[in-house]
C-alpha cells in the first residue's frame, strides 16, 4: 500500500504543479503577453519565437489556440498570421518534457524551502509577487511529484502481478497508442501525459516502444481534444482549431510510419538509433516528443496555404466574421496618427451604419440584411477593435490637437458601445418577436412599431450624418437636424405612458413591456443627442503632427 501511496501522491503533486504553473504564469504574463502575441503576427520569425515562448509559458497549446481565437474574434489578427503562433506553441510545450529527464531533486528541495519562506513572509498576498511565488511552488511540486513517481514506480515493478500485466501489454502495442490518446483527452495536455510516461520508463515500468507509442497517441489525442473543445466555434475560430488538429495529425502521420517501419523491417541507421535510445530511454522519448512538435510545426509553416484551404472548406467563414473584419483599421496606420484618426472615424461610421439594419429585424415591412445576433456581435467586435486601436494611438500621439481628437473619438466609441447595448436590450426585450404578433385588437404591437419607426428614423439620420463627415467634421445642417430630432422627448413619453395606463385592453405584462420600451427609447434618444453634441464640438480641422 505504501508503494501505491507514493505513486498516488506523486501523480497528485504533479498535476497540482501543472495547474499552478499554467494558472500563475498566465496571470503573470497577462496583458503584455497578449500585446506581444498581437504584435508578433507581422513577422514570421517573430511569430515562431513568440509562439514557442507562449507554449513554454502556458504549457498548453490548447490554451494558446483559444487565446488566439479570441484575439481573432476581436479583429486583432487574421487566421493566416495566427497559424505560426498556434503550431509553434506545440514546440514550447516540449520544455516540460525535456526538463523531466533531468535530475532536479536537490534543486526542487531548495525551491520548496525558498517558496515556503515566501509564504511565511506573506508574499503570496502581494500583487507583485503572488503569481511569481505560485509559479515557483508549482514547479517545485511538479518535480517533487516526479521524484515520488520514480521512487514508487521503481518498487512496484517488483510486484509479480504488475510484471505479468506489463508483459501482457508489451505484446499489444496498439494499447499504448490508444492509452496515450485517451489519457490526453482527459488531462487536456499531451506534455503532461508524456512526462508521466517518461517517468515510468525511467524506472522500467514501460518499455521504450510502449512509451514512444504513448507519446504518438498523446500527440494525436491533443489534436482531438482541441477539436472537441472547438465544437461551439464557427468560421475562423473553428478553422484555427482545425489547423491545430491538422498539425498534430501531420506530425504523427510523418513519424509514426518511420518508427513502425524501423521496428518491423529495420531502416538504414535504425539499429544505431535504437541502441542509443535503449542506453538513455528517457532522453530518447523526450527528443521524440520534441521531434513530433517540430516536424508538425515546420510542415504547417511551409504548407500553410493548402492547410488553410482545407479547413476553410470544412468550416467556412461566417457572416458575423465577415462583418466583424475591420475595413479601415490596420496596425501600420498608428505610425501616421493624423491618418489614423480619420480611419477610426470611418470605422465608427461603418458600425453606425449597421444600427438601422438591427432595427429592421423588428419592422414587419423590412427584410434584415443580416441575422440580428450576428450583426450585434459584429458591432461589438468592431467597437472593441476601435477601442484597442485608439489606446495604441494615444501612446503614439504627441501633439495636443491630435490628442484631443483621439480623446473625442474614445468618447464617441464609448457612446456607440452603449447604444449597441441599448439596441440589444430592446431586440431581446420589448421588441422581441414583434413581427410575429398580429395587430388585430391588440394595441401593443402598433404602439411598439411606432416607437421602432421613430427610433429607426433617428438612427438612420445619425448614420447618414456620420457617412457625410469629413476631416473638417460633420456638416452643420446634418448636426442641426440630428439635434432637433433628438430633443427632449420626456413630455411625449409621459403622455404616452398616461394614455396607456388607462388602456384596459392591455394586460399587466403588456404595460410592463411598453414601459420598458419607452425607457429604452428615451435612452437611445439621449445617447444620440450626446453623440450629436460631440460632433458639434469637432474642430474645423486637425493640425498636422
Q: What is the pLDDT of residue 59?
A: 67
Q: Please report, rounded to a whole number, the percentage of residues in the chain having pLDDT higher than 70.
A: 72
pLDDT score recorded for residue 545: 41
- pTM across the whole model: 0.61
Residues 6+ apart with CB under 8 A from 265: none
pLDDT in tens, 169-200: 556 778 888 888 887 877 667 877 787 777 77
Calpha distance 70→381 (Å, rounded):
10
**What pLDDT does residue 116 have?**
84
CA gap 370, 375 in Å, rounded: 6
Note the pLDDT of residue 540.
Answer: 42
Q: Per CATH, which fold does 321-536 belong to?
A: Methane Monooxygenase Hydroxylase; Chain G, domain 1 (1.20.58)
- Residue 541 confidence class, pLDDT cut points 50, 70, 90: very low
Q: Rounded CA gap, 259 and 82, in Å?
A: 31
* Element spanning 388, H or E: helix 372-396
C-alpha radius of gyration, the chain, whole number? 30
More confident residue, 397 or 544: 397
Over residues 160-170, the mean pLDDT reads: 52
Q: Is the pLDDT of residue 423 over 70?
A: yes
Cβ 97 vs Cβ 202: under 8 Å: no
Residue 440 has pLDDT above 60, yes or no: no
Listed residue (126, 106, 123) closest to 115, CA to CA: 123
Quick one: DSSP state of residue 59?
S
Question: Which pLDDT belongs to residue 202?
Answer: 73
Mean pLDDT computed over 327-355: 84
Where in the chain are all domains bearing CATH 1.20.58?
321-536
Q: In the predicted model, is pLDDT for residue 24 greater than 90?
A: no
DSSP assignments along 250-269, one per residue:
HHHHHHHHHHHHHHHT--TT
- Return the half-sphere exposure (C-beta side, CA atoms, 13 A cut-off) of residue 379: 28
Q: Give the contacts of 285 (CB within 8 A, at least 6 positions apart).
A: 194, 197, 198, 201, 208, 211, 212, 215
**In this predicted model, which residue has the larger pLDDT, 267 or 47?**
47
Q: What is the pLDDT of residues 366-410, one digit of tens each?
A: 554 556 667 888 888 889 888 888 888 888 777 888 888 889 999
Average pLDDT over residues 322-327: 79
Three-state DSSP class for residue 473: strand
pLDDT at residue number 410: 92
Q: What is the pLDDT of residue 441?
A: 47
Distance CA 80, CA 16 (A): 35
CB 396 within 8 A of CB 530: no
Band of pLDDT at residue 416, cut at 50, 70 and 90: very high
In this prediction, residues 315-331 reach a mean pLDDT of 77
Q: What is the pLDDT of residue 78?
A: 76
pLDDT digits (tens, 9 = 90+) for 208-226: 888 888 889 888 888 888 8
pLDDT of 418 higher than 90: yes
Using CA atoms, how far residue 76 sits from 69, 70, 81, 286, 417, in Å, is 10, 9, 10, 35, 18
Q: What crossing angle do the helices spanning 2-40 and 190-202 adopt, rounded to 10°? A: 140
- How large is the average pLDDT for residues 83-91? 88
- Mean pLDDT, the chain, as a whole number? 76
**Are 292 and 332 in contact, with CB atoms under 8 Å apart?**
no
Tell me the pLDDT band of 421, cut-offs 50, 70 and 90.
Answer: very high
pLDDT at 497: 66
Q: Is residue 352 pLDDT above 70, yes or no?
A: yes
| The residue to which cell 530518447 is assigned | 284
Output the pLDDT for position 98: 81
Least confident of 127-141, 348-362, 396-410, 437-451: 437-451
Cα dist. 532→73, 152, 166, 497 in Å?
Answer: 30, 73, 77, 27
* pLDDT score for 166: 47
What local confidence, expressed as pLDDT, does residue 200 receive? 74
Instruction: State residue 433's pLDDT score.
Output: 64
| pLDDT of the residue at 132 | 75
pLDDT digit string (tens) for 459-506?
A: 888 888 888 877 666 788 888 888 888 877 666 666 766 666 655 566
> Which has the minimum average pLDDT: 105-119, 186-200, 431-445?
431-445
pLDDT score of 438 more than 50? no
> What cell was used for 31?
496583458
**257-309 residue pLDDT tens:** 888 887 666 666 666 666 776 777 778 888 888 999 999 999 998 888 899 99
**Quick check: 347 pLDDT over 70?**
yes
| Per-residue confidence band for 118, with pLDDT thresholds at 50, 70 and 90 | confident
Amino acid at each position: 500500500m505504501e508503494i501505491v501511496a507514493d505513486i498516488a501522491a506523486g501523480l497528485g503533486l504533479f498535476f497540482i504543479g501543472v495547474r499552478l504553473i499554467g494558472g500563475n504564469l498566465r496571470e503573470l504574463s497577462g496583458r503584455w503577453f497578449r500585446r506581444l502575441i498581437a504584435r508578433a503576427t507581422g513577422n514570421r520569425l517573430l511569430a515562431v519565437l513568440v509562439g514557442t515562448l507562449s507554449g513554454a509559458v502556458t504549457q498548453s497549446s490548447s490554451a494558446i489556440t483559444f487565446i488566439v481565437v479570441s484575439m481573432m474574434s476581436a479583429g486583432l489578427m487574421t487566421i493566416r498570421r495566427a497559424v505560426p503562433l498556434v503550431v509553434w506553441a506545440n514546440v514550447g510545450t516540449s520544455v516540460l518534457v525535456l526538463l523531466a529527464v533531468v535530475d532536479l531533486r536537490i534543486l526542487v528541495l531548495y525551491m520548496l524551502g525558498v517558496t515556503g519562506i515566501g509564504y511565511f513572509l506573506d508574499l503570496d498576498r502581494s500583487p507583485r509577487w503572488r503569481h511569481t511565488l505560485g509559479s515557483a511552488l508549482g514547479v517545485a511540486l511538479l518535480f517533487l511529484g516526479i521524484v515520488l513517481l520514480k521512487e514508487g514506480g521503481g518498487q512496484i515493478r517488483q510486484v509479480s502481478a504488475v510484471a505479468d500485466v506489463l508483459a501482457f501489454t508489451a505484446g499489444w502495442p496498439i494499447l499504448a497508442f490508444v492509452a496515450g490518446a485517451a489519457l490526453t483527452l482527459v488531462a487536456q495536455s499531451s506534455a503532461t501525459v508524456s512526462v508521466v510516461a517518461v517517468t515510468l520508463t525511467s524506472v522500467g515500468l514501460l518499455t521504450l516502444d510502449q512509451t514512444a507509442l504513448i507519446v504518438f497517441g498523446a500527440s494525436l489525442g491533443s489534436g482531438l481534444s482541441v477539436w472537441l473543445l472547438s465544437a461551439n466555434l464557427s468560421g475562423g475560430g473553428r478553422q484555427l482549431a482545425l489547423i491545430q488538429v491538422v498539425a498534430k495529425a501531420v506530425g504523427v502521420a510523418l513519424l509514426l510510419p518511420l518508427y513502425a517501419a524501423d521496428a518491423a523491417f529495420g531502416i538504414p541507421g535504425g539499429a544505431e538509433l535504437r541502441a542509443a535510445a535503449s542506453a538513455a530511454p528517457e532522453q530518447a522519448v523526450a527528443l521524440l516528443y520534441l521531434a513530433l512538435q517540430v516536424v508538425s510545426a515546420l510542415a504547417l509553416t511551409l504548407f500553410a496555404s493548402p492547410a488553410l484551404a482545407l479547413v476553410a472548406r470544412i468550416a467556412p467563414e461566417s457572416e458575423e466574421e465577415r462583418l466583424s473584419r475591420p475595413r479601415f483599421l490596420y496596425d501600420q496606420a498608428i505610425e501616421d496618427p493624423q491618418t489614423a484618426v480619420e480611419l477610426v472615424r470611418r470605422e465608427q461610421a461603418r458600425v453606425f451604419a449597421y444600427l438601422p439594419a438591427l432595427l429592421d429585424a423588428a419592422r414587419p415591412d423590412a427584410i434584415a440584411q443580416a441575422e440580428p445576433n450576428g450583426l450585434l456581435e459584429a458591432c461589438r467586435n468592431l467597437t472593441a477593435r476601435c477601442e484597442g486601436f485608439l489606446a495604441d494611438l494615444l501612446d503614439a500621439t504627441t501633439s495636443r490637437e491630435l490628442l484631443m481628437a483621439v480623446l473625442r473619438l474614445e468618447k464617441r466609441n464609448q457612446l456607440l458601445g452603449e447604444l449597441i447595448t441599448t439596441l440589444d436590450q430592446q431586440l431581446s426585450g420589448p421588441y422581441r418577436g414583434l413581427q410575429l404578433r398580429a395587430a388585430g385588437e391588440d394595441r401593443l404591437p402598433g404602439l411598439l412599431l411606432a416607437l421602432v419607426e421613430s427610433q429607426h428614423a433617428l438612427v438612420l439620420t445619425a448614420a447618414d450624418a456620420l457617412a457625410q463627415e469629413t476631416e473638417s467634421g460633420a456638416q452643420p445642417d446634418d448636426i442641426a437636424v440630428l439635434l432637433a430630432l433628438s430633443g427632449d422627448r420626456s413630455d411625449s413619453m409621459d403622455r404616452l405612458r398616461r394614455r396607456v395606463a388607462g388602456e384596459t385592453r392591455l394586460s399587466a405584462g403588456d404595460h410592463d413591456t411598453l414601459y420598458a420600451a419607452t425607457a429604452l427609447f428615451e435612452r437611445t434618444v439621449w445617447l444620440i443627442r450626446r453623440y450629436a453634441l460631440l460632433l458639434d464640438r469637432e474642430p474645423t480641422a486637425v493640425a498636422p503632427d
